[in-house]
């Protein structure tokens, strides 16, 4: 089926009772923006793909049609951070616009992976956002008052494969770090002293962007007092993720 044909199908199915928990009539408002998950090679709908709200922490699963509604997803500025997962496919994370005017169905294509790392997934991990990302979301709400510079999960995933220090330079953060005599680095809210430091950096971990999910950068007089008390100096770099 062509892309236009699939979009027409999604729009038709958006009002289908198959997306509801009962047989009552479903409205577009109650379902929210429709997300369709498909196999990148065959174009076939993928049933049983987990669609995870990275802000609100809830997880839904696609129906046989590959569809799911995003009405219950938490949002900031009419956008939600969404991760789509399915066994045998590469995960993908993206920003979905969920405002009142965002009614065009979305398509997501998952590609097969040849091998999968061994892992154990519990119901708690699927249903709840990691605490370190909850801290990141809290700080985004205060960004205007604190002057924080934010790098969201979607932007991080677009730069997987790059070195963290190189990525920070491309975002203009590294210039501010280099001008500071002392920079505080924090991993998931805790002072962090990496075992390996990126060459030419003021204490930045010599890691890949893949190791982290988000970044918050504070500098100047608006930097929160919690970092001044821990000796951050004139700048604080908050990293959220696994690290090394």
Domain's final residue, options 108, 127, 146: 127
Q: Note whether 123 and 228 are same-domain residues.
A: no
Domain's final residue, options 96, 127, 158: 127
Please give the average pLDDT of every successive group of 10 residues along the chain, which has 244 residues.
Answer: 50 46 48 89 92 86 90 82 90 87 89 64 48 81 82 90 91 72 82 87 88 87 75 81 70
- Which ranges in the chain belong to alpha helices (H)? 3-13, 28-31, 123-127, 131-141, 143-146, 153-158, 164-170, 173-179, 225-228
Q: Note whether 111 and 166 are same-domain residues.
A: no
Q: Note whether 30 and 62 are same-domain residues.
A: yes
How confident is the model at residue 30, as a pLDDT?
67
Q: Are 180 and 235 in contact (CB under 8 A)?
A: yes
Q: How far apart are CA 51 and CA 32, in angstroms?
A: 14
**pTM here?**
0.47
Domain's final residue, options 111, 127, 143: 127
Q: Note whether 81 and 163 are same-domain residues.
A: no
User: In terms of residue numbers, what domain contains 56?
Assistant: 3-127
């Amino acid at each position: 089926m062509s892309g236009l044909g699939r979009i027409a199908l999604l729009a038709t199915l958006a009002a289908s009772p198959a997306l509801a928990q009962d047989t009552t009539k479903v409205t577009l408002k109650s379902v929210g923006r429709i997300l369709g998950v498909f196999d990148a090679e065959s174009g076939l709908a993928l049933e049983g793909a987990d669609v995870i709200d990275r802000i609100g922490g809830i997880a839904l699963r696609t129906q046989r049609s590959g569809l799911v509604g995003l009405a219950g997803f938490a949002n900031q500025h009419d956008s939600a951070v969404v991760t789509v997962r399915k066994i045998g496919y590469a995960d993908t994370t993206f920003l979905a616009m969920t405002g009142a005017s965002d009614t065009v169905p979305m398509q997501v294509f998952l590609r097969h992976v040849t091998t999968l790392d061994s892992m154990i997934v519990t119901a708690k991990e699927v249903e709840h956002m990691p605490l370190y990302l909850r801290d990141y979301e809290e700080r985004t709400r205060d960004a205007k008052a604190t002057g924080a510079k934010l790098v969201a999960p979607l932007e991080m995933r677009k730069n997987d494969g790059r070195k963290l220090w190189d990525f920070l330079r491309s975002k203009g953060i590294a210039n501010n770090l280099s001008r500071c005599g002392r920079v505080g680095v924090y991993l998931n809210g805790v002072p962090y002293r990496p075992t390996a430091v990126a060459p030419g950096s003021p204490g930045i971990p010599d890691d890949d962007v893949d190791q982290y999910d988000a970044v918050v950068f504070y500098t100047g007089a608006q930097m929160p007092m919690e970092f001044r008390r821990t000796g951050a100096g004139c700048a604080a770099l908050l990293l959220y993720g696994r690290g090394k």
